[in-house]
Amino acid sequence: MYQQQWRQLPERQHEIVRWVEEMVKKKLIRPSISPHAAPTFCVRKPGGWSIVLDYRYLNSNTVRQSIPMTRKEDILDAMSGAYWFSMMDQMSAYYQVRMREEDVKFTAFQAPNGPCSSHGSLQRASYDAQVDIEAVSGLEEHEVVLR
């Protein structure tokens, strides 16, 4: 599933390289020698650029996950009466959900607007973390579960 990289203006090429280097440094992505590749491009956003991978071809060959989003009412009901709460930082969430090693070769690297199943994978990971936290009754147990 190789697609030719599109031509980019030098400013955008520089931004893509900067972003990749930053993500590798943070260990959110890793270098790849995969024969597969998706085109990368930039989209202007307030205050800079957003890096996008065009995974349309990969997505057209992917079996989509059907994982419903948890309703906010159900979450609030589950939290009623609780005393301790935690927040999950999902700023780089899509990069933190592990992909099956045998599938990594199909993605040069993971991106927020990447493979179509990334949303479902993130939702499943969030749900799994939520289930563990919901059963907690005290601060000590809460801290143990968060580790």
Would the CA dihedral through 100, 124, 27, 7 be positive or negative?
A: positive
Tokens representing 55? 């995974």
The pLDDT value recorded for residue 136 is 66
Lowest-pLDDT range of 12-26, 40-54, 94-108, 128-142: 128-142
* 61 vs 94, more confident: 61
Q: Write out pLDDT tens, residues 75-127.
A: 889 888 888 888 877 777 777 778 888 887 787 643 333 444 455 556 666 76
The band of 128, judged by pLDDT with boundaries at 50, 70 and 90, is low
Are the beta carbons of 85 and 8 closer than 8 angstroms? no
